[in-house]
Every structure is written in structure tokens, then in C-alpha cells.
Amino acid sequence: MRIILLGPPGSGKGTQAQLLVRRYGIIQLSTGEMLRAAVAAGTPVGLKAKEIMASGGLVPDDVVVGIISDRIDQPDAKNGFILDGFPRTVPQAEALDELLKRKHLKLDAVIELRVNESALLSRVETRVAQMRERGEEVRLDDTPEVLTKRLASYRSQTEPLIHYYSERRKLSTIDGMMAIDEVTRAIHRQLLALGAVEPKTHARSAAKSGPAKKTKTAKKSAKKSPKAGKKTTRAAKTVKKSVKKAGKGAKKATTKTVKMAAQRTAKKAVKKGAKKAAKKVTKKRAKR
Ligand code: AMP
């Protein structure tokens, strides 16, 4: 199986890639990791990439394409791989298509992890603060300032890949804001639906993390639903009762109003009658 994980920095690609590696026995190819190793080893590629990486920019396409092409040829990549952080530009995606074609390999899926950018920034801020508190070394490009730049380069250079792969019917989008295990389950379900993994893998791993199992929330809501149904019926009854009451009230009110109006008219009539009678009496007296 060969898949690409697509998503902005901090979206959880690395975490998901590691979980998928354990589940399917394939390898993770992270260009970021490879470049960091090259920087640490002081290789020519590392020397080229060091500054660019520290500033949050992108390393030239030919450099990363070369690294990936060599890595795919290694025996441990035979079973398949998860590309994490590659491709990051349309030319890289085109180069990957070419490269896979040449090697007679098929790409099974591109999984996009969609996340909320402001949530990403606060996540990174918290993580960096915690690491500093523990006295751990913070990655040079993992600061909120550099992350803002990396997000901008994701938007302008990497996001067009969403269109690229959706046009080629390879794209599956998953809500990356869910809990880690829920994201893993969603990815697994997607891969099953695409036929990229065997249902067997599903059964084996189901014992461990249980993608087919109902989540606690699902179970809770399933349990809740009959009650919820009862609640709805009860509510409906209450509504019916109040409608009836309201009807009666309205009837009462109408009758009352009509009665009062009739009384008023009667009183007026009595007054009018009395006035007329009084007038007649005065006229008669005047005649006399
Ligand atoms: P990552 O660990 O994937 O976030 O990558 C860390 C840094 O490595 C990025 O900010 C880039 O500077 C560089 N990098 C990683 N992958 C690529 C790529 N596919 N194309 C260009 N630069 C990359």
C-alpha cells in the first residue's frame, strides 16, 4: 500500500503515519525527518537545507524528489510506504507521478487531514511552552513565528495539491481535529473503502484498537436513543396538552369577550332607552 498524508504542519501527519506503520507494517517516509538527519550529519544536502528549514521555507524540489526516489528503491519500501510531508508542491507531485510510473508502482490514496489553523497555532504554543518547561530542546522551526510562515507556505504551495489529487480521484479528506484514535479509525475506514487494505488487517487490528467497534460515544448515544425517543414522545404529549389548554383558554377568552361586549351593548341600549323615555316625558310636560 502506498499513501500520501497531506495536511499543514502540526495537523498530526507524523503521529498518524507512525500509527499506520504499526498497523500495516509499511514504512514512513518523512522528508522533514530525512532532511533533519541530513542537517545533523552535515551532508551536502543538509548544508543546503539547514538555513531554509530554520526559516520555515521549502527546500528545492529537485533535492527532495532525489531523496524520495532513492529511498523508495530500498528493500524495506517494497511492502509499501506512507509519504509524510512529501509532495509539498505541484512540481513535486508531478515528479512523484513520473517516478512511480517508472517504477511500476501505484499510489493507493491521498489522505488530507483538515484542521483549524488557529487551533494549530495554540497547540504549538502550548507544546513549545511545555517542552521549554521540561528543559527539552525545541525544534528551530517549531516556534509560533516560524509556524506562521510554514502555514503560509502550506497555503500557497501545498494546498493546490488538494485540487491536484481530487481531480485524479485520489483524495480523501478527514477531520484532523478529532481525537488521535478517531482520526486513525477514519483513515482505516477510508482505506478499507478504497480497497487499499484487506478486511483481514481490519479484523486483526480490530482486537487492538477496534475500528469496527462502536466508539464509547456511539454506544452511549445508542443507549441514549430509546430514552431520547421517550423524551421526544413525552415532549410531544406536553406540547399537545398545552395546545389543548391554549384552545380551551382561547375559547373561554372568546366567550368572555363576547359576553362583555354584549353586556356593554345592553347597558348602552338601556342608557339610550332611558334617555329617549326621559325626552318623551319632558316633551309631554312642555305640551301641557
Ligand atoms: P516537516 O517535518 O515535514 O514539517 O518538514 C520540516 C521542514 O523540512 C519544512 O519546513 C521544509 O523546510 C523542509 N521540507 C520537508 N519536506 C519538504 C518537501 N517535500 N519539500 C520542501 N521542503 C521540505
Convert the pLDDT of each residue in 180-196 to its tens digit: 999 999 999 999 999 88
CATH code: domain 2-26+79-199 is: 3.40.50.300
Per-residue model confidence (pLDDT) at position 67: 94
Give the list of residues 6+ apart from residue 172 with CB closer than 8 angstroms, or none. Answer: 109, 110, 111, 112, 190, 194
Per-residue model confidence (pLDDT) at position 224: 41
Q: How many residues are there in the chain?
A: 288
Euclidean distance between CA atoms 1 and 27, whole angstroms: 10
- Confidence at 201, pLDDT banded by 50, 70, 90: low
- Vertex 40: Cα angle to 37 and 44 (nearest 5): 85
Report residue 114: phi and psi, to 5°: -95, 130
Residue with the larger pLDDT of the pair 226 and 172: 172
Among the atoms of ligand 1, which is closest to the Cα of residue 141?
Answer: 10
**Which residue puts its alpha carbon closest to atom 8 of ligand 1?**
32
Residue 9 alpha carbon to ligand 1 centre in Å: 9
Ligand 1 contact via 6 beta carbon (within 6 Å): no
**How many percent of the chain have pLDDT more than 70?**
69
Residue 205: pLDDT above 50? no
Convert the pLDDT of each residue in 60-94 to its tens digit: 999 999 999 999 999 999 999 999 999 999 999 99
**How many percent of the chain have pLDDT more than 90?**
53
- Confidence at 159, pLDDT banded by 50, 70, 90: very high
C-alpha closest to that of 162 among 215, 88, 104, 103:
88
Ligand 1 contact via 52 beta carbon (within 6 Å): yes
**Which residue puts its alpha carbon closest to atom 14 of ligand 1?**
32
Task: Quote the strand ranges of the chain, DSSP E.
Answer: 2-6, 27-30, 81-84, 109-114, 171-175
